[in-house]
Chain A
Amino acid sequence: MRWNKGASHAYSACLQSTAGLALSSVLLSSLLSIRPLFGQDQSPTYSLSNQTSAPAQPASTQRTLLIMIDAAHGGSEPGAVLNAAMPEKDVTLAIARRLRQELAARGIPALLVRDNDATISTDQRAQIVNSARPALYVAIHASSQGAGMRLYTAMLPAAGDNSGPFVDWQTAQISALARSQWIQEQVTAAIQKTGFPCRSLIAPLRPLNNVVVASLAVEIAPTTSNVSQLASSDYQQMITAAIANSIAAIRGKLESGP
């Protein structure tokens, strides 16, 4: 076959248009395959741990109330060894599941970032949360040190630059920090009113820095010297009910925009 220059151009144009069509159809089908995190036909209590993508919701003044609960650690990363049979990752998962139940009982939809013993990096956790755009992100931690509960907001590292079109990953929380601190104050005050020991602090803790919505970390310690109290269902119930009540009390503020 003899090729001339014109035929060659026509052939490459044909190839380009075919490739363009194929690419367009792939993009369109992938866009259509993205479904809302939970629609009307889906249960509000749902685990995100097996999901790879979630749509970013546009910022609005009235948002769907959604709380994302993150059981810290997991998989190959056990966290603190509270005692020989109790790694932190198991206690945080049990408390996270209870908190989801307590919130659901108050009509507040909640999702778990992990609902099994999966290893999820802090960057992946932040990506999941940032895609879902919940009204509040709560990371659950457990410790044998101290007594009661500590609530933390982010302590952002020095030299973050959010002046350009892109948000600096290390200081992404900066736009939601005031809201996080307000929620921290409200929740701390509500829990302290019940007589349970509760402290408010800031902490250099990831992924709080990387999350663009209001974020809290809760570190739960036993009230006695016996660390196995953390695994007791009564204690977990009491703690999670207190947190859920305090969140329910500020529901109106959480539903309103940032």
Chain B
Amino acid sequence: MIPRQLVFATATLFSLAIGISLYVWQLRRREALSPRPLESAQHVAPPVSGPTEKVTVWVAHDDSGILRAQAVSIPLAAGRQERAQELMRALVDIYVSKNSPHPLAAGAEIHDVYLVESGLAVIDVNLAFADGHMSGILAEELTVVSMIHTLAVNTPSLMRAKILVDGKERETLAGHADLSGFYDVGQIAALAKQLSSQ
């Protein structure tokens, strides 16, 4: 015969397990039904505190299909790489702002900019940047040229640049601009000149 205490303990544990299961099931159901707080789609620039420097960025304008130089202030960075990142973020802030002359998708951001010793810059953008980008030869090349030319003009000895999407190589930005190779900074400068004139 099974001792009474054991039967009592088993029944208690069993009912406890059922109770916890029901509670967990209810919690999961409640979580599934409750609206999730939206992830912030809009890129939020950190407030600039401390010393800043004025730099020139090359901004794409969709209405006329040209690039225009624009002066902006960026936080004074300690190193070359941090400065390059601040430059790219300042440019993207213009593109994701209200009344942007060349709108990028909500949530478009620069993950990182790496300056490699051999005069190579690697710009890593997030998925929202590429997935939500307007498709078209001119639209895509305006983005590519504005980024690389801005970086090249403000970073001496830069020779080549590469754009990655979410840390990976991607064939095109949005179906047109080729991202599989390395961009020659001299060619980008020539194209920037073409794109700066009507």
Contacts and interface: CB of A to CB of B under 8 A. Distances in A.
B177 A201 contact: no
A240 interface: no
Contacts of B184: 157-158
B181 A157 contact: yes
A145 B191 contact: no
Interface in A189-231: 199-206, 209, 217, 219
Nearest to B136: A143
Given A79-B175, A158-B160, A204 B138 contact: no
Contacts of A157: 178, 180-184
Contact of A209 (B137, B139, B176, B178): B178
B182 A203 contact: no
B101 interface: no
Given A73-B175, A145-B62, A202 B191 contact: yes
Contact of B139 (A81, A145, A152, A204): A145
A204 B188 CA distance: 10
Contact of B176 (A144, A155, A159, A205): A205
B121 to A, nearest CB: 12
Interface in A74-113: 77, 79-81, 88
B157 interface: no
Contact of B137 (A77, A170, A200, A219): A219
A61 B13 CA distance: 93
B104 interface: no
B187 A143 contact: no
B177 A204 contact: yes
Nearest to B62: A145
A146 B138 contact: yes
A152 B174 CA distance: 17
Interface residues of A, number: 30
Given A157-B178, A158-B160, A145 B187 contact: no
B183 A80 contact: no
A207 B71 CA distance: 36
Contacts of A219: 136-138
Which of B65, B178, B183, B194 counts the most A-chain CB atoms under 10 A from its CB?
B178
B134 interface: yes
A5 B174 CA distance: 67
A81 B135 CA distance: 8
Contact of A143 (B64, B139, B177): B139
Nearest to A81: B135
A205 B62 CA distance: 19
A79 B183 contact: no
B109 to A, nearest CB: 22
Nearest to A152: B137
A114 interface: no
Given A79-B175, A158-B183, A205 B135 contact: no
Interface string B25-69: 000000000000000000000000000000000000010110000
A150 interface: yes
A124 to B, nearest CB: 14
Interface string A110-122: 0000000000000
Contact of B134 (A145, A150, A206): A145
Interface in A126-178: 141, 143-146, 150, 152, 155-159, 170
Interface of B: 62, 64-65, 134-139, 141, 144, 159-160, 172, 174-178, 180-184, 187, 190-191, 194-195
Given A202-B187, A206-B172, 15 more contacts: A80-B134, A80-B174, A88-B135, A141-B137, A143-B136, A145-B62, A157-B182, A157-B184, A158-B182, A158-B183, A199-B65, A203-B141, A204-B141, A205-B178, A217-B137
The 10 closest A-B pairs by CB, nearest first: A157-B181, A80-B135, A158-B184, A143-B136, A146-B65, A204-B178, A158-B182, A219-B137, A158-B160, A206-B178
Interface of A: 73, 77, 79-81, 88, 141, 143-146, 150, 152, 155-159, 170, 199-206, 209, 217, 219
